[in-house]
Amino acid sequence: MKASEEQTFAYSKRKEESGLSQEETRKIRELNRTITSLLNNMPGMTFTKDARTGVYLACNQAFAEYAHKEAPDGVVGLTDAEIFDEETAAHFVEDDQAAISMDKPYVFFEDVLDAAGNQRQFQTTKLKYTDSDGRLCLQGMCQDVTDVIRIRREKATTQKAYEKARTTSIIYTHIAHALARGYTSLYYINLETDEFIEFHTDD
């Protein structure tokens, strides 16, 4: 092979390798965009971390804002101890260990301060999995359930008030029926306190 032919061959080979590298880079960027889009469109805060080192591998924008970072890139590569205060970091690590020790998703509720410092109630799910490289990872999903819990509490309070009113109505209906049958006196006794109320037909 002549010198000019060797140069042409080498140039073609470099061009071919360069093309493959660009294609791989394009696929990686596309995959990253897909993953980022998926995470950002999931409800609540989502993150993935290396289960053994605690290093964050990915997260969505909601979690980045909770961690007081402008974007997920500011979270990736850091640990809880490098992001949060000592007490909060220790709390997260403790929850991680509990999730890793379980063979099913670890689901729990907790009071959390949001990025603005407001008290919110979150349902957190943490589960372990093994990625394609055989690395043990931890997936976390935090859903804000503050409004759901508030509605349930209000509903429970309303239901309790309704039941109390209904019970009182039934009691007074029985009293009215008894007095209408010709009884001159009737006693309503609270069996728990032994207190009683006396009713007369002339009341």
Q: What is the pLDDT along the chain (203 residues), one digit of tens a residue?
A: 444 444 444 444 444 444 557 776 666 667 666 666 666 666 688 899 999 999 999 889 889 988 999 988 899 999 999 999 999 899 899 999 999 999 999 998 888 776 677 788 888 889 999 988 899 999 998 888 887 667 766 666 666 666 666 666 666 666 666 656 666 666 667 777 878 777 665 65
Q: Report pLDDT for 45.
A: 87
> What is the chain's alpha carbon radius of gyration, rounded to the nearest angstrom?
33
* Residues 52 and 136 sit within 8 Å (Cβ to Cβ): yes
| Half-sphere exposure for 42 (CA within 13 Å, toward CB) | 19
What is the reported pLDDT for 82? Answer: 95
In whole angstroms, what is the distance from residue 10 CA to residue 67 CA?
50
Task: State the pLDDT at residue 180.
Answer: 60
Q: How far apart are CA 65 and CA 73, in angstroms?
A: 11
Give the model's pLDDT for residue 144: 83
Map residue 136 onto helix, strand or coil.
strand
